[in-house]
Structure 1
Amino acid sequence: MSNYIEYNGKIAFHPGYYVKEIVEESGLTQEDFAKRLDTTPKNLSLLIRGEQNLSIDIAMKLSRMIGTTVSYWLNLQNAYDAFIAEFRSEKELEQEKETFKSLDYKYFRENFGLPDLPRKIDEQIIAVREFLKVATLSVFKKRDMAVSFRSASNEISNGNIIKANAMVQIAINKALTMDAPKYNKVKFKQAADYALSLTKEHEEFYPLIKNAFLEAGVIFVILPNLPGSKINGATKKLEKNVMLMVNDRRLNADTFWFTLFHEIGHILHGDYGISFEKETGGKEEIADAFAADSLIDPEAYKKFVKEKVFTLTTIQKFADLIDRDPGIVLGRLQNDGLVRYDDRALQSLRHQYKVKVSS
């Protein structure tokens, strides 16, 4: 390692550079100089080569030995450290630009009020970094940065990972601003049961569910979808609370409620992490079964399916019987291959919820 560095037409010298000059001018060997300085030859050698920072102890000994001030030496070290920090910051910014390619500044500007900075990539990166409250956007390349990735699939790209981590980071930051009691599993089960009674409330259900979950220590966040994240939802155990996040791309009755109860299932089983599209595995199957059985009583569904009559009237009648939005029943039938997705006669049963997305 060199005892000086050149960058952007500037040069900065490590304190060891000046110590080396003093040693050479003294006519002493490094070993003899080290003895007079009351340190080891190894420490002096590391300092001279720029491989070890100047300590307060050595600064004090140098000041006594050659008649300078302690601050003189400490200022040299501070100036060198500041230059190195600037150098590393610029290098990190170049690396961040690669990560930033997977994010969409428009998403942050339109949904979270970040400033309009056309073609100012460096400033956009700084704005997003500060909004997400991270030292570098590069941390989002790590699979388990924000929460555990339940999926081990190789189909999840680096771009998916970056976007998913960014979305979860937003949700976590929002959750940390909320005042909620300690997570209570019993109360959360009750809140989940209450949520099931709201599936036909197409506009007012979100604040009602949000408040019910909050009382149980679960902070429910709906975020605008970041295109390409391939994320369905996520959960994270905080210090005393639980964060539950879904995005707004699945606000049809069937997909929204299934995603929500899939994540509720994960929480109740003590399993926290990110759920991606088309995931498989034991934990996902358990969460899927929990969601399916919570939304539609399995015995009632079995009897209904046995009739093999799936019309607008029969589906609506069954939905009324179990007190669920008919879109939930339609979605289940389509998922089970009993009704075609392109059956236009049944599309009026599918409801698109209107939710004011958390911002």
Structure 2
Amino acid sequence: MSNYIEYNDRIAFHPGYYIKEIIDESGITQEDFAKRLDTTPKNLSVLISGKQKLSVDIAMKLSRMLGTSIEYWLNLQKEYDTIVAEFESEQLMVEERKLFKKLDYKYFRDNFKLPDFPRKIDEQIKAVREFLDVSTLSVFNRRDIAVNFRESASGLNEINTIKANIMVQIAINQALEINAPKFNREKFNDAIEYALTLTMEHEKFYPKIYAKFREAGVILVILPNLSGSKINGATKKIGNNIMLMVNDRRLYSDTFWFTLLHEIGHIINKDYGISFEKEIGEQEQAADEYAANKLIPVQEYAEFLKNGQFNKYTICEFAEKIRRDPAIVLGRLQKDKIVPYDDRELNGLKHKYRVKINLDSH
């Protein structure tokens, strides 16, 4: 590092620059000056080169030795630090602009009421940065910024990582605003059973689940999907609570409920992190099995398969027996390759919807 810096037609000198001038004009060696200053030659050399900040102690010794004020030397350091900070901030902005090109400001504007700022990229960046509560958007390049990426998460590119981290950050920030009692596993298990009674209720089920989970210390956040994130959901411990996030990318009731129960499975297994589409591994398999068995009890499903008849009537009859939405039964049969995904008549059982969330309601 140099002992001076130039930026935007401005120049600032590190205090070490002035100390070097004083030594040169004094006619004594740097070593002798260090002895008179009551410091080591090495410490003085590092300070002169600009590699070390001027301490209050050295500022005091310089003022006593040279008849200046302590504030004079500390102000030189402050001015230098300010210019360096401005330079580094501009460098960060350059990186942010590159990253921001991969995002769509419309997502933040339309879903979270950020100001419009048409064609004002730097203003948009500032708005998103403040909304996400980070010093720079560049932090979202890291896989450890908020929630762990499981080892099985492979094949993700830079933009997938950035967008997944952003979605999790939004969920965490929303969860932090919620007051909830300490996580209680027993109450959460009861809340899960209650949620399963709502699979046939396709309107206004979210507030009911949200309230029940919150009583158990689990804060449920459903977010609008950020295209390209490849994220299904995420879980994270936040203080005494647990954040459970899923997005609304799953447009059909069967896939939505499976995704929700999958993330619940991660909580039950004490395995927190991000779930991505097409992710594999023991942790994902365990969460899949939990979701499948909770949505459709194992024994009842085995008996149903023995029947060998899978049409609208038998599917609805079985769904009514286990008190589940018929789409969940159909989705399981399709996943198990017992019935085709392209059966238009059977697919009529599925409900297409997005969970409309009032982001101001919590």
Q: TM-score, normalised by structure 1?
A: 0.98
User: What amino acid sits opposite 2:100 in the alignment?
Assistant: F
User: What amino acid sits opposite 2:6 in the alignment?
Assistant: E
Task: Please give the residue correspondences for 1:203-352 in structure 2 after superposition, counting only pairs within 5 Å.
Answer: 203-352=203-352
Deviation at 1:144, TM superposition (A): 2.0
Moved over 3 A (4+): 151-154
Deviation at 1:13, TM superposition (A): 0.7
1:26 matches 2:26: yes
Unaligned runs of 5+ residues in structure 1 are none
User: What amino acid sits opposite 2:296 in the alignment?
Assistant: I
Separation in 1 of the partners of 2:273 and 2:354? 26
Deviation at 1:152, TM superposition (A): 3.3
Residues 83-138 of structure 1: CA distance to partner in whole angstroms, max 9, x if unpaired? Answer: 00000000111112222233221100110011111222212111111100011111
Deviation at 1:336, TM superposition (A): 0.9
Separation in 1 of the partners of 2:323 and 2:122? 53
1:137 matches 2:137: yes
Separation in 1 of the partners of 2:152 and 2:76? 49
Matched positions, count:
359
Identity of aligned residues (%): 66
Alignment-derived partner of residue 164 in structure 2? 164
User: Contact conserved, 2:236 with 2:243, CA < 8 A, in 1?
Assistant: yes
Alignment-derived partner of residue 113 in structure 1? 113
Deviation at 1:253, TM superposition (A): 1.1
User: What amino acid sits opposite 2:302 in the alignment?
Assistant: K
User: What amino acid sits opposite 2:166 in the alignment?
Assistant: A
Residues 148-206 of structure 1: CA distance to partner in whole angstroms, max 9, x if unpaired? Answer: 11243431111111000000000000000000000011110110011000101101210
* SS in structure 2 at match of 1:236: strand
Unaligned runs of 5+ residues in structure 2 are none
Separation in 2 of the partners of 1:22 and 1:98? 44
Alignment-derived partner of residue 188 in structure 1? 188
User: What amino acid sits opposite 2:183 in the alignment?
Assistant: Y
User: What amino acid sits opposite 1:102 in the alignment?
Assistant: K
Separation in 2 of the partners of 1:121 and 1:311? 54
Alignment-derived partner of residue 148 in structure 1? 148
Deviation at 1:48, TM superposition (A): 1.0
* SS in structure 2 at match of 1:290: helix
User: Contact conserved, 1:102 with 1:162, CA < 8 A, in 2?
Assistant: no
User: Contact conserved, 2:152 with 2:279, CA < 8 A, in 1?
Assistant: no
Is the deviation greater in 78-87 or in 33-42?
A: 33-42
Deviation at 1:338, TM superposition (A): 1.2
User: Contact conserved, 1:223 with 1:358, CA < 8 A, in 2?
Assistant: no
Deviation at 1:208, TM superposition (A): 0.5
User: Contact conserved, 1:149 with 1:274, CA < 8 A, in 2?
Assistant: yes
User: Contact conserved, 2:152 with 2:280, CA < 8 A, in 1?
Assistant: no
Separation in 1 of the partners of 2:354 and 2:33? 77
Separation in 2 of the partners of 1:138 and 1:42? 37
Deviation at 1:355, TM superposition (A): 2.3
Separation in 2 of the partners of 1:148 and 1:196? 28
User: Contact conserved, 2:248 with 2:354, CA < 8 A, in 1?
Assistant: no
Alignment-derived partner of residue 35 in structure 1? 35
Deviation at 1:358, TM superposition (A): 5.1
User: Contact conserved, 1:234 with 1:246, CA < 8 A, in 2?
Assistant: yes
Separation in 2 of the partners of 1:102 and 1:26? 57
Deviation at 1:337, TM superposition (A): 0.8
Structure 1 residues 277 and 354: alpha-carbon distance in aligned structure 2, compared to 1, 3 A threshold:
closer
Alignment-derived partner of residue 56 in structure 1? 56
Separation in 1 of the partners of 2:305 and 2:171? 39
Q: TM-score, normalised by structure 2?
A: 0.97
Separation in 1 of the partners of 2:239 and 2:324? 35
User: Contact conserved, 1:203 with 1:353, CA < 8 A, in 2?
Assistant: no
* SS in structure 2 at match of 1:349: coil
Alignment-derived partner of residue 14 in structure 2? 14
Alignment-derived partner of residue 357 in structure 2? 357
Deviation at 1:239, TM superposition (A): 1.0
User: Contact conserved, 1:222 with 1:358, CA < 8 A, in 2?
Assistant: no
Alignment-derived partner of residue 74 in structure 1? 74
